[in-house]
Amino acid sequence: MKIAIFHDYFRVMGGAEKLVLIMAKNLNADIVTSEINPEILKDEEFKDINIIPLGKLSKFSHLLPNICMKRFSKCDFSNKYKLFIFSGNFSIYAAEKHKPNIWYCHTPLRGLYDLKNEK
């Protein structure tokens, strides 16, 4: 069964990115992402994973949520894969077109629950 993992973006190599790469390797899945910084994928262990960027690396990080939502809502890989795994908060904008699907929620956006700046 051909599987696609949709992940928000690969700008830095954090825990979510490592987990997605490990899932892709073990499930023999392709990764679809809104954008990728090729500098972070130097690890030989992940060189055989097919990563499909939906666009170029944006210079406007403050617009990244809107860019991701737009790119994912417009993409369509529904005829290429049999199962879709969504990772992150913005990749789910592609979920309506891509079924059956699973959402792997790493953690909700910090802005939804972080009250550090509240007085």
DSSP reduced 3-state for 102: strand
pLDDT, tens only, 42-59: 777 888 899 999 999 988
Give the model's pLDDT for residue 8.
95
**pLDDT for residue 13 is more than 80:** yes
pLDDT value at residue 73: 97
Backbone angles phi, psi at 4, to 5 degrees: -120, 135
**Segments making up each domain of the chain, as ranges:** 81-119
Strands 83-87 and 51-53: unpaired
Q: Annotate 90-101 with b (16+ C-beta within 10 A) or e (fewer).
A: bbbbbbeebeeb
Q: Is the pLDDT of residue 107 over 80?
A: no
Average pLDDT over residues 33-38: 93
Average pLDDT value over all residues in the chain: 90
Per-residue confidence (pLDDT) for residue 67, from 0 to 100: 94
Helix or strand (DSSP H, E) at 32: strand 30-33
Q: Per-residue confidence at 106, pLDDT binned at 50, 70, 90?
A: confident
Sign of CA dihedral 75, 57, 67, 25: positive
